[in-house]
Chains A and B, each alone.
Chain A
Amino acid sequence: NAGVTQTPKFQVLKTGQSMTLQCAQDMNHEYMSWYRQDPGMGLRLIHYSVGAGITDQGEVPNGYNVSRSTTEDFPLRLLSAAPSQTSVYFCASNPTGVRRFYGYTFGSGTRLTVV
């Protein structure tokens, strides 16, 4: 099925551990982004990419790292997990070039708890 696939769906980390949240899309979308969703805060942009090899920071990038080596994949790395990073993480994609005519396609999310 075409869409955005996120893995894992759930994860518990200890403070200080590192991990990578995976995001893959099979729609040949150039634009990909990561958001975090916290209660009462809506969605906040972490990092985004407009194509392979190009990434940029969003609103809340501290503590996170991204890379974009292929069009399909956009992993999000937590360098040293902190309890403040407990959140639900969403990956979204969009076909750049017509981005202003089409909405984003979201993955189903990764629920991360840092203890």
Chain B
Amino acid sequence: SQQGEEDPQALSIQEGENATMNCSYKTSINNLQWYRQNSGRGLVHLILIRSNEREKHSGRLRVTLDTSKKSSSLLITASRAADTASYFCATDPITQGGSEKLVFGKGTKLTVNP
């Protein structure tokens, strides 16, 4: 069953603009992660934010986490054509007995037009 749900499903912007993607999830988590997937390729880990963190930066990426609303956002600033990809959020849910399962959403397809 899907834990995270990304919104929007697809996003098209111009180069230089900012792109914001959102992720909502259902249960308490240890951490939330964002991944990028270029067409026909494997997933690449972008950033991990733990449940006790509210904001994290990595280069042009900014991730926020609101555990009270069970939601996260990924902001890509000054986007480039090379940012064109699908972006997935993944949650590490807290479960009884411990969890070894990372649960992925369905992804947001980002297109950055030159």
Contact = CB atoms under 8 A, between A and B. Distances in A.
Q: When A and B form their complex, which 3 residue pairs have the shortest distance between CB atoms, in order from nearest?
A: A103-B45, A42-B106, A106-B42
Contact of A40 (B33, B47, B103, B106): B106
27 contacts: A4-B42, A40-B106, A42-B88, A42-B104, A43-B90, A44-B104, A48-B100, A50-B100, A56-B100, A59-B101, A90-B42, A90-B43, A92-B43, A99-B100, A100-B30, A100-B50, A101-B48, A101-B50, A102-B45, A103-B33, A103-B35, A103-B45, A106-B43, A106-B45, A108-B41, A109-B41, A109-B42
B6 to A, nearest CB: 9
Interface of A: 4, 31, 33, 35, 40-45, 48, 50, 56, 58-59, 90, 92, 99-109
Contacts of A92: 43, 102
A101 B52 CA distance: 12
Chain B interface: which size bin? 20 to 34
B103 A107 contact: no
Contacts of A33: 102
Contacts, number: 63
B45 A105 contact: yes
B103 A45 contact: yes
Given A31-B100, A40-B106, 15 more contacts: A42-B105, A42-B107, A43-B43, A43-B88, A44-B104, A45-B102, A92-B43, A102-B45, A103-B35, A104-B102, A105-B45, A106-B43, A106-B44, A106-B45, A108-B41
Interface of B: 1-2, 30-31, 33, 35, 41-48, 50, 88, 90, 92, 100-107
B29 to A, nearest CB: 10
A44 B42 CA distance: 14
Contacts of B47: 103
A31 B101 CA distance: 10
B42 A100 contact: no
A48 B105 CA distance: 18
Highest count of chain A CB atoms <10 Å: which of B41, B43, B92, B101: B43
